Structure 1
Amino acid sequence: MNLCLGQVFSKDKTFRPRKRFEPGTQRFELYKKAQASLKSGLDLRKVVQLPEGENINDWIAVHVVDFFNRINLIYGTVSEFCSERTCPIMSGGPRYEYRWQDGDHYKRPTKLPALMYMNLLMDWIETLINNEDIFPTRIGVPFPKNFQQVCKKILSRLFRVFVHVYIHHFDVICSMGAEAHINTCYKHYFFFISEFSLIEHSELEPLVSQGHWDENKGGLTVAW
């Protein structure tokens, strides 16, 4: 799917520099294994399952970074259509609004334009995945006890990017003929977070409630 995404979306419009795994590391080998499975045509529900003998935190770390890269690529392509004029609020339709709070510059939930929210979100995630105390890369260095909690928060925030793109910019995606690719990316993400219970079901409500996702059928079911 990386190949398909790279062909359809503009790599020069990636929202952030891609985070890469160092060759020769366990994380790099896991990433290659995950990509090989993804390109093999296997059921995505099986692709996300933890390979036998592998550490679950390594598996989660690989996928968090990979989803960060892919979602950057998707949003980077539509970001020129996501301005303060077109998207003055970070939202997912009229019923859902996301406000930014980081405990530093924004101590209270603050209403922001979508593009500004995205910039802050990607900066925040990038800082976390580059932090060796949270995402260790050296052999023998353990993951922190709160590692999965941190990943849950990252993944729940990345879901908001899907929500905004699907509800406010899917016409752009369709004009590129790229809807099948973003749908596959979202399905992969959905099956992964479901496999390891990494997001609260209530977080999915903005897409489920509007009829865009049917868990029983395992896919996106209506035109956007």
Structure 2
Amino acid sequence: MSAGRAHSYTWLNNRLEPTEIPAHKYMSLMKRWISAKIDDVQLFPTSPSTVSFAPNAAFVSVTAFSVSDSEDWVGRSSGFPKEFASTCKTIFLQMFRVYAHLYWSHFVDPFYHLNLEKQLNSCFSNFLLTATSLDMLRAEDLEPVQMLVDLWAANGTFPPKSKAYSFAHVKSGEKLMQCGLEAS
């Protein structure tokens, strides 16, 4: 599976060796892996008896999801394990890779041809805003879709105070917008 010439995504086989596989198989394995993680009650506790309550907490700081080496981590008081944040980051990265592949290999056919590009853009832009605000993706992770990030920052899809916007090269996005206007 790839996202352009510079980004090839491999899957770890049973011997933990990177293996190149077709995109549809990568997505199937990824979906199964994520489902197994979410269904694991040790990683994602579901018992209401373990839920903690913080009466004065208006919100959780977005930096609370950062991976921490200390003995206090996000979700600890509710029974979430120490590796919860790093597992979530891996889940977000895997999902991002699928989006990147879809944009590079399937945007025109089928999304554009079926008039579904607005739905894809809406889902992906919201995914990026959420993933970046929770520190689930880093700026370098976005490289395969950097031009899209730049464009969305320049055209107002990303709010200027968002982390996704801060990862953009707005001047490049403005140039892309200008090219689009000249082409029309």
- TM-score bucket of the superposed structures, by smaller chain: 0.5 to 0.7
The alpha carbon displacement at 1:197 in A equals 1.1
Greater RCO (Cα-Cα under 8 Å, separation 6 or more): 1
Does the CA contact (< 8 Å) of 2:2 and 2:9 recur in 1? yes
2:8 aligns to what? 97
How many residues align? The count is: 130
Is structure 2 residue 105 aligned with structure 1 residue 168? yes
Could you give the per-residue CA deviations for residues 34-67 of structure 1, whole angstroms, max 9, x where no partner exists?
xxxxxxxxxxxxxxxxxxxxxxxxxxxxxxxxxx
After TM superposition, the score normalised by the length of structure 1 is 0.54
Is 1:111 aligned to 2:49, yes or no? no
Q: Which one of 145, 165, 169 corresponds to residue 207 of structure 1?
A: 145
SS in 2 for 1:181: helix
State the SS of the aligned residue for 1:213.
helix
RMSD (Å), alpha carbons: 1.9
Aligned residue number for residue 125 of structure 2: 187
Q: CA deviation at 1:216?
A: 3.5
Partner SS for 1:156: helix
Unaligned stretches of 5+ in structure 1?
Answer: 1-89
Which letter maps to 1:136?
P
- Does structure 1 residue 156 correspond to structure 2 residue 67? no
Match of 1:216 in 2: 153
- Larger radius of gyration, structure 1 or 2? 2
Distance 2:121 2:131 in 1: 15
CA shift for structure 1 position 219: 3.9
Superposed counterparts of 1:1-224, under 5 Å:
90-101=1-12, 105-141=14-50, 142-171=79-108, 172-208=110-146, 211-214=147-150, 216-217=153-154, 219=157
- Shift of the alpha carbon at 1:135? 1.0
Structure 2 Cα separation of the partners of residues 189 and 198 of structure 1: 10
Relative to the length of structure 2, the TM-score reads: 0.65
Q: Which amino acid aligns with 1:92?
A: A
Contact 2:132 2:138 in 1 (8 A): no
- CA distance in 2 between counterparts of 1:200 and 1:189 reads 13
Question: Take 2:142 and 2:27, find their aligned partners in 1: how far apart are those partners?
Answer: 18
The percentage of counterpart residues that share the same residue type is 31
- Aligned partners of 1:128, 1:153: CA distance in 2, in Å? 11
**Native 8 Å contact 1:213 1:219 kept in 2:** no
Q: Supply the distance in 1 between the matched residues of 2:32 and 2:43 (Cα, whole angstroms).
A: 15
What are structure 2's unaligned runs of at least 5 residues? 51-78, 159-172
Runs of 4+ in 1 over 3 A off after TM superposition: 218-223
Who is 2:53 aligned against?
none
Query: What is the DSSP-based 3-state SS (H/G/I as helix, E as strand, rest coil) of the residue aligned with 1:107?
Result: coil
Contact 1:152–1:198 (8 Å) recurs in 2? yes
Distance 1:106 1:116 in 2: 18
The Cα shift of 1:106 comes to 4.5
2-structure distance, mates of 1:191, 1:114: 25
The SS at the match of 1:140 is helix
**Aligned mates of 2:93, 2:127 — CA distance in 1:** 11
Q: Partners of 1:113 and 1:195 in 2: how far apart?
A: 31
